[in-house]
Amino acid sequence: MLLLNQAYVQLSRGLTTPLILTSNLSNFSKFRPLTATIGNRCRQETANVCGSPFHSSAAKTFGCSTVKAKTFEPDYLDSAVPLIPTYPPINIQLKGYNFDVLESYQSYVHNLAENMGIDVEEAWATPPKSTKISTFAKGGTRVHDEFSLHMYERNVQVVNMRSVDAPILIDTIRSTLPEGVQLSFHEHLQEHYEERYIPDPFINSVRAELTASEEKNIAARAEKEAASAAKAARKQAALLKSIQDTDDD
C-alpha cells in the first residue's frame, strides 16, 4: 500500500522515473480502484502535456510524437525524363477593324499565355493600314459614299513554348476568338520586326543606295577574280608551250 501511494505521488508530480515495486503483490486485486485512478490521472496528464506548447520536449516522455513518412527520390530521376521539344519564337498575330475589341483580346491572349506558364517575350502594335472604299450611284459612275477602313494589328510573341502546350493554347484562342478578328500563328522573321516602324523615305533611299553599292562591289570583285583566273590560265599555257618546245629541240 505504501509503494502504491508513492507511485501515485510520483505520477501526480509529473515525475517520469518509474517506481519498481519489489514487494509481493499477490493481493493486488484489492487495490484495483486505486490503479484505475492512477491510470486515469496518467492519461489526463498525458493529454495536457501533448496539448501544451512544450509538446516537442514532453512528447518523447509520454510517446505523443507522430512519425512523418517521407519518400526519398534520387536526383537522377529528373534527368532521366525525356526532354519536351520547344518551338522557336512564335508570333500570335491579331488583326481587326474594331480597335477596342482588338486591344482587349490582345490583353486576354497575353494573360492566357502567362497563366499557362508560357514565356511571353514581348507584345507590340504595328501602324494601322487604311483602305479607302467608294460606293457608286446605281447605274452610274458618280461616287455615292466614301469610307475609310483602318486595319489594326497586334502581336504577342511567345518563346520556349513546349510542343504539349501549343495545341492547348491554339485551341483556347480559336474557341474564344471574337467576331471580326483575324488570327495567325507564324515564326518570327526579320520582316515582322521591320513592320513595327513607320517607313522613312530618307532611310529607305539610303538603304537602297547601300544595297546598290554592295551589289556593284560584288560584281567588280567577281570580274576581278575572273580576270585573274584567265591571266593565270594564259601564263600556265605559255609555260607549258615553252616546255614542249624545249623537249622538241
Q: Tell me the per-residue pLDDT of 58-87, one tens digit each, with 9 for 90 and over.
A: 444 445 555 566 777 777 776 766 788 999
What letter does residue 29 receive in the DSSP assignment? G
Residue 140 CA from chain centroid, whole number: 60
Compute the Cα dihedral for 96, 101, 107, 110 and give only its sign: negative
Three cell numbers at 200? 522613312
Identify the pLDDT of residue 167: 94
Q: Are strands 119-136 and 90-96 parallel, antiparallel or unpaired?
A: unpaired
Spatial distance between the Cα atoms of 52 and 105, rounded to a whole number of angstroms: 56
* Secondary structure class of 216 (helix, strand, coil): helix
Exposure of 98 by Cβ count < 10 A (0-12 exposed, 13-18 middle, 19+ buried)? middle
DSSP string, 77-140: HHHTSPPPPB---EEEEEEES-HHHHHHHHHHHHHHHHHTT-EEEEEEEEEEEEEEEEEE-TTS
Spatial distance between the Cα atoms of 134 and 143, rounded to a whole number of angstroms: 7
CB 156 within 8 A of CB 110: yes
**SS3 letters across 54-75:** CHHHHHHHHCCCCCCCCCCCCC
Residues with Cβ within 8 Å of 26's Cβ and at least 6 positions away in sequence, in order, are: none
Identify the pLDDT of residue 74: 77
Identify the pLDDT of residue 178: 93
The pTM for the full model equals: 0.49
Residue 137 CA from chain centroid, whole number: 56
Identify the pLDDT of residue 40: 59
Residues in the chain predicted with pLDDT less than 70, given as ranges, are 1-69, 78, 80-81, 199, 248-249
